[in-house]
Amino acid sequence: MHVKTHGGRSWYNWRLMGFLLVLVVALGAQAEPPSFKLPGRKPDSREPWDAFLGKAAHFTIGMQYLVQYPTNTVFLDTIDLSTIMKNGKLGDPKRLSKFVRLLRPDITDTNALVLFEVKPDNEEGREEGREQAGRYLAALNEAVNPDKKLKGGTGFEGALFLEFENGGALWQLSWRTPEPGVTLYRWSYRREKPHASWKERAAQKEEALPREEAEQRGEMAEQAIRAAYEKGEWPSGFQGQVYLPVDCH
pLDDT in tens, 115-137: 999 999 999 999 999 999 999 99
Dihedral over Cα of 28, 30, 33, 37: its sign: positive
Instruction: List phi, psi (to 5°) of 32.
Output: -135, 110
For residue 160, give Cα distances in angstroms to 127, 136, 187, 226. Answer: 25, 28, 10, 13
Nearest one of 85, 75, 153 to 113, comparing CA atoms? 153
Residue 17's pLDDT is what?
54
Nearest one of 229, 52, 213, 218 to 158, comparing CA atoms? 229
Q: Specify the 3-state DSSP secondary structure of 208.
A: strand
For residue 5, give Cα distances in angstroms to 2, 9, 237. Answer: 5, 6, 65
Question: How confident is the model over 17-76, as pLDDT tens digits?
Answer: 554 454 444 444 444 433 333 333 344 444 455 788 999 999 999 999 999 999 999 999
Residue 241 has pLDDT above 80, yes or no: yes
Q: How confident is the model at residue 166 (pLDDT cuts 50, 70, 90)?
A: confident
Residue 35's pLDDT is what?
35
Task: Give residue limits of the domains in the chain.
Answer: 2-31, 37-249
